[in-house]
């Protein structure tokens, strides 16, 4: 009898997922997420690294990419700041907000925590620009996706661009 591996996507009794899987990397600050990314690079594995990357992240990202011979595809999600800010505020104030999402000053499900003051549109825009959150690129190709209106995103074209990048980097 064969044991199931972590990456074949199955536990005993579960249906097969036809090779589709996602790896979610999460953890508290300083728990080792960057160390894990570096370990993946040392093993020459492809993976997705997701974060609110900003200008201050770039030097370390570039260092790791160069050290291990990786080329990154950057997907930059952006759009009309005012519309996205509306979604930000809705999410910030939603009682259904995911408990792991940090609000401006606290975790959203923290018992007895005082409400945090939502930042203004001007503060939101200033933070994006100061931290270069919608312009970061670490030297490889970048795809900018306007998410002002999700129904207007050409998902098929985006998937094709991602597939093309992945296929061009197969060993």
What are the tens digits of pLDDT across the range 119-163? 899 999 999 999 998 888 888 899 999 999 999 999 999 999 998
pLDDT at 3 over 50: no
C-alpha–C-alpha distance, residues 59 and 53, integer Å: 11
CA distances from 87 to 10, 50, 93, 107, 159 (A): 35, 20, 10, 18, 24
Q: Provide the CA 6 distance to its chain's centre, in angstroms.
A: 22
Question: 104 and 119 in contact (C-beta within 8 Å)?
Answer: yes
Position 1 scores a pLDDT of: 40
Q: Which of 138, 167, 16 is nearest to 70 (CA)?
A: 138
pTM: 0.73
pLDDT at 5 over 50: no
pLDDT in tens, 54-106: 899 899 889 988 998 888 999 999 999 999 999 988 888 877 776 666 555 55
For residue 33, give both structure tokens: 């997420």
User: Is residue 144 within a helix (H) or strand (E), and if so which, with residue range?
Assistant: strand 142-146
- Cα torsion 52, 139, 167, 69: sign: negative
């Amino acid at each position: 009898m064969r044991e199931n591996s972590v990456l074949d996507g199955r536990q005993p009794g579960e249906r097969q997922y036809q090779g589709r899987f996602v790896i979610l990397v999460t953890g508290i600050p300083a728990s080792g997420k960057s160390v894990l990314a570096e370990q993946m690079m040392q093993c020459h594995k492809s993976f997705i690294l997701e974060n609110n990357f900003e200008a201050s992240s770039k030097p370390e990202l570039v260092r790791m990419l160069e050290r291990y011979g990786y080329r990154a595809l950057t997907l930059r999600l952006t759009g009309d700041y005012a519309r996205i800010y509306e979604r930000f505020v809705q999410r910030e104030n939603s009682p259904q907000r995911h408990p792991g999402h940090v609000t401006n000053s606290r975790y959203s499900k923290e018992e007895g925590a005082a409400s945090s003051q939502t930042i203004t549109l001007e503060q939101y825009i200033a933070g994006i620009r100061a931290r270069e959150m919608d312009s970061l690129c670490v030297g490889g190709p970048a795809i900018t996706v306007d998410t002002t209106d999700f129904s207007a995103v050409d998902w098929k074209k985006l998937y094709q661009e991602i597939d093309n990048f992945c296929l061009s980097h197969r060993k």
